[in-house]
Every structure is written in C-alpha cells, then in structure tokens.
C-alpha cells in the first residue's frame, strides 16, 4: 500500500515528505493491527480454539483498556513528547500481543489481560498521533494530511478482513496473532520526532487535574462541544442501529447475509470516496459542510426502516460512509488549528473518549429498547437523531467554519494557534 499523493499548496505532494510518510506508515500499521485482531480471533472461534463467549470477553477487555488509557495518554502526550508516548504505547501492544497467542486454547484470562494491554496501547496512540500530526505537518497542509491518514484507515478496514482470510489459508491462527504484534512494533518505531518542546512537568500535579485543564480548553470552543455532542448522538444511535439491526434485517427481510456484507462494503467505499474528496476540496463553510456530512448517517437506519430493495440499502450506507469522512477531515484539521497546542492531546483524548466510549453503551441500550418498543420506532428515532443532532450543532457560534474567529472558515487560514507548536 502506498501513501496517497496529495499535493501541497506549493505543488509538492505531501507523500514525498519523509517525516509525513513515516507518520502515515505508522498510523496505517496501527490501523491494520487494530482491525486484524478481531478477525483473527474470529477465525479461532471457527477453528474451535476459542469459544464465542471467550471472544466477547477478550474484545471487551481490549475496549476497556482502550477507554482507560485514552485520557491518561492525552495528559502524558501533552506533558512529555508525543513521539515518546507513541513509542511506549506501541511497544506495550507489541509485547502483549504474543501473550494473546500464548493463551489461545489455554486461558481466556491470560488472553483478556493481554488484550487489555493491547487496547491500552491503542488508546494511548490515538491522541498522541493526532497531536503529533500537528507537529509534523505545517498548518497549510494538515487538511491533506488528515485526508491521507483517514484514507489509509478506510483502505485498512477494506483490506484487513480479506488479507486475514487469505493469510489464514497458509498461516496458523497463532502466527497471525503474533503478526499483529509486529505491526504494533512498526507503529512504535516508525513515527518521526515532533518539533515541540514539552512543557516542564509541574511536580505534584495530578493526572485528573491536568485532564480537567484539557476539558476547560474544549469548553472555550463552543463549536467543538456542539460537534462532539452531535458525533456522540450519531454514534449512540446510528452506529448502534447498524451493528445490531443490519444483520437481523438482512436475515429476516432479505433472507441473506449478503446484505450485511454489501452494506458494510458500500459504507467503506463511500468513506474512501469522502476521504479522497476532502484531500482536494476545501469547502468555504467547512464546519457546516462537516455537520451536513455527519447528518447523512441518518440514511443508514432510515434504509433499514423501509421495505426497500437491497440496492437502496447499499446506496444509503455508501452515502453514510461518504458523509462521515466529510465530517472527520475538517473536524480533525480544525481541532489541530484552533486548540492550544499545549493541550491538543488532552482535547483529542476527550474527543476519542466520548465518541468511542458511547458506542458500547449505545449497543447495550438498543436491544432493550427494541424489546420494549419494536424495531420500527427505534430505527425511526435513530434516523431522526442522526438528522437533527448535527443540525442543532450547526446553530452554535463558530460552527460555520469550526473556528472561534468570525469569517475564518476556509480551513487553511492561519489562526493565532495555527503556527508550528
């Protein structure tokens, strides 16, 4: 896989910048490791080396590790070197991964403990990578850089399952699990050093107090809080509907699992198109464009609500995938531009904590809601929330350009915080 060649404002493709290429390769490696592990463990279930219950416990442990590490890593990445946080987080995941393989068929407890460490490494990398991007890439090219990174993530989601299934024909499950550890090793060692000098540590300052400083910084940006609330609402409802309702609708209404596979593939292809579009398109009102893209996710639950041809479901999911990248790229770019560089990792960790943290909660609430009210009312509410939450966020001051400064809506303008940290 080669990095996409997005042109810089001066005509030089950003993929020819050695520092960005290293960062892009590291994030791609971490994405491959993250997405491949569940599929490898799923193969272990098919081979009767792991029970379905054991699979659920191991993946839940990984999620818990992720959520616990994200806020801590945000503080550490602001206190110390972002590059160092990525290094130690990646090494922790790389060293813990073989323990998952060692526990396969022997101890679910060992697998779960190791998976929690891997999840913690994954959670620590996310805000550190986000902040490191702002250090490595100049302000004028961060939109292209974020688009290139998210494009790699979407290619990963498309390639990882197929590559895993193909490799499983010649490699054992144990070997495949260990291979994901090698990907984490690459993610740890590849990133370039940042250009920021970490602030001097204040003795006696608690991690919770420092994370609270990041929360206060986030509150200084009304557009950020509103956008994060809209994103959380869409994930809580739309994502949950996709995860729970799509497989059942495919089975009960259409009588085939091909609808599930087709919809998820269409979603990924739509996201790829969205990332490619945002690498070249600079919307004038980037905030409103992003929120409109986020609202497009409402077509996913809406397509499951109506008795339509499967092709309509595929189109709806492609539109949802397109929209989520119309949101992601301006969102990440604006956060890197507007947030105080000293607190960027903490604010990013708040972003990931809320968005990823609500996903399992939404899944837990959806099934009881369906039992109480039925599929149709629940899907209708999910679609309405997906449409209305971004619309409400668009009414917030600064939402038009994801910026505190009126008229600064181009996404490439230099704000007082846009300089290299």
- Does 410 score more than 50 pLDDT? no
pLDDT classification of 324: cutoffs 50, 70, 90: very high
Tokens found for residue 14: 């950003």
User: Taking residues 24-46, what's their average pLDDT?
Assistant: 89
Looking at the fold, whether 115 and 60 belong to one and the same domain comes out as: yes
Distance between CA atoms of residues 187 and 191, nearest Å: 7
Is the residue at 237 inside a domain? yes
Residue 420 in any domain: the answer is no
Q: Is there a domain that residue 24 lies in?
A: yes
Q: Which residues pair with 7 in a beta bridge?
A: 13
Give pTM, 2 decimals. Answer: 0.84
CA distance 24 to 320: 25
User: What per-residue confidence (pLDDT) applies to 204?
Assistant: 53
Query: Any idea what the CATH number is for the domain that residue 313 is in?
Result: 1.20.1250.20
- 293 in a domain, yes or no? yes
Find the angle CA(91)-CA(93)-CA(94) to the nearest 5 degrees: 60
**Residue 240: pLDDT band with limits 50, 70, 90:** confident
| Beta carbons of 310 and 262 less than 8 angstroms apart | yes
pLDDT in tens, 46-85: 888 888 888 889 988 999 999 999 999 999 998 888 999 9
Mean pLDDT, residues 347-370 taken together: 83
DSSP state of 419: S
Residue 202: inside a domain: no
Q: Is residue 3 part of a domain?
A: no
Same domain? 68 vs 173:
yes
Give yes or no: residues 20 and 93 share one domain.
yes
> Could you tell me which of 247, 260, 238, 250 has the C-alpha nearest to residue 362?
238
Residue reference for tokens 């609402």? 233
Range of the domain at 259: 214-393
Max Cα–Cα distance, the chain, nearest Å = 63
pLDDT in tens, 376-399: 888 999 999 999 999 999 999 999
Is pLDDT above 90 for 195? no
- C-alpha–C-alpha distance, residues 260 and 251, integer Å: 9
Domain check: are 187 and 240 in the same one?
no
Residues 119 and 219 grouped into a single domain: no
Residue 273 has pLDDT above 50, yes or no: yes
Question: What is the arithmetic mean of pLDDT over 321-343?
Answer: 92
- Whether residues 346 and 272 share a domain: the answer is yes
Q: Are residues 71 and 178 in the same domain?
A: yes
pLDDT > 70 in the chain, percent? 90
C-alpha span between 90 and 27 (Å, rounded): 11
**Residues 109 and 184 grouped into a single domain:** yes
Strand partners, 12: none
CA dist list (Å): 8 to 147, 280, 300, 412: 12, 10, 35, 12
pLDDT of residue 2: 39
- The enclosing H or E element of 348 equals helix 344-373
Look up tokens 């915080």; give the residue: 417
CA–CA separation, 290 vs 227, rounded Å?
Answer: 9
For residues 25 and 121, membership in a common domain is answered with: yes
∠ CA 171-172-178, nearest 5°, is 95
Please tell me which residue, 212 or 407, carries the higher pLDDT value.
212
Say if residue 228 is in the same domain as residue 104: no
Tell me, yes or no, whether 187 and 281 share the same domain.
no
Residue 15 has pLDDT above 80, yes or no: no
Residue 417 within a domain: no
For residues 245 and 292, state if they share a domain: yes
Q: Is the distance from CB of 201 to CB of 100 less than 8 angstroms? A: no
Say whether pLDDT at 421 is over 60. Answer: no
Domain assignment of residue 105, yes or no: yes
What is the per-residue DSSP string for 218-229?
HHT-HHHHHHHH
| Cβ-based neighbour number of residue 343 at 10 Å | 23
The pLDDT assigned to 201 comes to 54
Higher pLDDT, 184 or 241: 184
Q: Minimum mean pLDDT among 214-218, 241-245, 268-272: which range?
A: 241-245
Of the residues 157, 191, 225, the one at which a domain ends: 191
Q: Given this model, what pLDDT does residue 418 score?
A: 29
Domain count, the chain: 2
């Amino acid at each position: 896989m080669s990095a996409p060649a997005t042109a810089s404002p001066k005509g030089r493709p950003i993929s020819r910048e050695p520092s960005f290429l290293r960062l892009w390769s590291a994030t791609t490696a971490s994405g491959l490791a993250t997405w491949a592990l569940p599929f490898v463990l799923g193969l272990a279930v098919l081979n009767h080396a792991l029970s379905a219950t054991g699979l659920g416990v191991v993946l839940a442990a990984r999620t818990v590790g992720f959520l616990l590490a994200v806020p801590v890593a945000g503080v550490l990445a602001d206190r110390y070197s972002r590059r160092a946080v990525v290094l130690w987080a990646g090494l922790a995941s790389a060293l813990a991964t073989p323990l998952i393989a060692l526990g396969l068929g022997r101890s679910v407890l060992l697998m779960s403990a190791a998976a929690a460490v891997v999840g913690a490494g994954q959670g620590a990398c996310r805000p550190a990578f986000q902040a490191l991007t702002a250090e490595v890439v100049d302000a004028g090219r961060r939109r292209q850089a974020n688009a290139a990174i998210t494009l790699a993530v979407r290619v990963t989601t498309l390639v990882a399952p197929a590559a895993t299934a193909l490799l499983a024909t010649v490699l054992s499950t144990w070997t495949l699990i260990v291979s994901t550890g090698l990907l984490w090793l690459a993610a740890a060692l590849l990133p370039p050093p940042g250009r920021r000098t970490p602030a001097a540590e204040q003795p006696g300052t608690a991690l919770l107090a420092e994370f609270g400083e990041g929360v206060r910084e986030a509150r200084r940006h009304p557009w950020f809080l509103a956008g994060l609330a809209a994103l959380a609402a869409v994930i809580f409802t739309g994502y949950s509907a996709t995860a729970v309702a799509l497989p059942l609708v495919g089975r009960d209404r259409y009588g085939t699992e091909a609808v599930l596979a087709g919809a998820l593939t269409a979603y990924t292809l739509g996201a790829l198109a969205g990332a490619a579009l945002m690498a070249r398109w600079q919307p004038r009102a980037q905030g409103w464009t992003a929120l409109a893209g986020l609202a497009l996710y409402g077509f996913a639950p809406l397509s499951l609500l109506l008795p339509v041809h499967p092709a309509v479901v595929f189109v709806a999911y492609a539109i949802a995938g397109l929209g989520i990248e119309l949101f992601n790229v301006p969102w990440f770019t604006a956060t890197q531009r507007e947030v105080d560089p000293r607190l960027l990792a903490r604010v990013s960790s708040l972003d990931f904590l809320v968005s990823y943290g609500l996903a399992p909660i939404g899944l837990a609430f959806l099934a009881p809601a369906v039992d109480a009210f039925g599929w149709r009312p629940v899907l209708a509410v999910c679609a309405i929330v997906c449409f209305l939450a971004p619309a409400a966020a668009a009414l917030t001051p600064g939402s038009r350009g994801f910026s505190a400064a009126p008229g600064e809506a181009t996404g490439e303008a230099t704000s007082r915080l846009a300089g290299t940290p």
